[in-house]
Amino acid sequence: MGVIGDRYPARILTRVGLAATAASLWGLASVGSFWPFLAVFWGFGLSIQLFRLSLDTLLFKEDHGDTPRRLGHYNAMRMGGMMVGTLLAGAGYYWLEFPATLKLFSLGTLLLIAPTVKLPLTRSVRTSLFDYGRDFLAPPVLFFVTWLFLFTLHWGAEATSLALFLEHNLGLSPLGVGGYMAGEFGVVGLTAYIYGRFWAGRLKPLTFLALALVFSGAGHIMMTYPVLPWSFAWRAVHGFGDGLILMETYTTITRLFHVDRIGGSASLISPTTTLGILAGSLIFGPLGAAYGYQVPLIVSGVISLALLPLAYAGLKE
């Protein structure tokens, strides 16, 4: 999808992604059996990826200077949208039926096509697939994607266990779960904004990455104590660490890849994170079902802390 974003105007691909996402959400609300639902869900995932990667390509190719500030503002707005969306989803699921909530989100997504007329028209460049492969096989890129894969294992733990932990261990309703998760997204967005506005370049990369891993890993572990104020406070700590990692990921992409190939090259990062989530889900889903939903969060937090030596070795090189 990223290669398509390099070859065709990202503004048009953004519209296609939004339209397909709206259709997929409506389809998810309408199907009534597993296999059709799975097929539509795959379509939903591809549509979301097309939309997100198209926006990322626009961001990377529209260089107006002060890159950290642009990246921070972009991710702050993106996380702000996720915060509001999570609150609305929790409220919708609490007061409405699940299909009705999906249909409302489908209509809202469709309305977002109209503002895309104001998006810039990016320059299209045709690049051979060999050049993308050469970029991706460079040693710094291989280290980056290996480290990112291991870090995103904890996203698999979150995907399979976090909502269940909040429901069963903390006793939250769907509305409460939405509020809890929205709070974390707010912290991630605020961290991205503050980083882009004030912190960029003020710490050595190793110090920055070490702080991010400590906050993310420790927050993931400590949030599992089943007292709501304590858990949410440490979840905010985790969100702060993840916000730093988010900014590190985006700034690293701008450093590693040529702007003419940045759409396709950056999209190679997406399968890495997807595989990390997939592997984490396969590992931590059964673990949570067998031993309690707090266990995957603790174990994945320990894995994040264990990445500190790898970060040291890679950045030292």
Give me the mean pLDDT over the 93-109 stretch.
Answer: 89
124-161 as b/e: b if 16+ CB within 10 A: eeebeeeebeebbeeeebebbbebbbbbbbbbbbbbbb
Q: 255 versus 114: which is more confidently predicted?
A: 114
Q: What is the CATH number of the domain that holds 133?
A: 1.20.1250.20
What is the per-residue pLDDT for 198?
A: 79
Q: How confident is the model at residue 122 (pLDDT cuts 50, 70, 90)?
A: low
Residue 236: the pLDDT is 97
* pLDDT surpassing 60 at residue 3: no
Is residue 307 very low, low, confident or very high in pLDDT (cuts 50, 70, 90)?
very high
pTM: predicted TM-score of the whole model, two decimal places:
0.85
152, pLDDT greater than 70 = yes
Q: Is 171 a member of any domain?
A: yes
Region of residue 62 (left: phi > 0; alpha: psi -120 to 50; beta: else): beta
| Res 215 pLDDT > 90 | yes
Cβ neighbours of 104 (radius 10 Å): 16
In a domain, 231, yes or no: yes
Please say if the pLDDT value at position 204 is more than 80.
Answer: no
pLDDT band at 64 (very low <50, low <70, confident <90, very high): low
Does residue 269 belong to any structural domain of this protein?
Answer: yes
Percent of the chain with pLDDT over 70: 88
Number of domains composing the chain:
1
Average pLDDT over residues 233-261: 85
- Residue 198 domain-assigned (yes or no): yes
Asked, for residue 79, whether it belongs to a domain, the answer is: yes
Is 54 among the domain residues? no
Q: How far apart, in whole angstroms, are the C-alpha atoms of residue 278 and residue 271? A: 10
- For residue 270, tell me if it sits in a domain: yes
Provide the domain limits for residue 310. 66-110+125-316
Alpha helices in the chain (DSSP H): 2-7, 10-30, 34-61, 67-95, 98-111, 129-136, 139-151, 153-157, 163-164, 174-194, 205-222, 228-256, 262-267, 269-291, 294-306, 308-316
Q: Is residue 3 part of a domain?
A: no
When pLDDT is cut at 50, 70 and 90, the band that residue 8 belongs to is low
How much is the pLDDT for 23?
96
The confidence score (pLDDT) of residue 262 equals 62
Determine which of 96-105, 174-183, 201-210 has the lowest per-residue pLDDT on average: 201-210
Instruction: Give yes or no for residue 16 having a pLDDT over 60.
Output: yes
Confidence of residue 78 (pLDDT cuts 50, 70, 90): very high
118 pLDDT band, cuts 50/70/90, is confident
Q: What is the mean pLDDT of the chain?
A: 86
CB 185 within 8 Å of CB 234: no
pLDDT at 283 over 90: yes
pLDDT(160) > 90: yes
pLDDT at 4 over 70: no
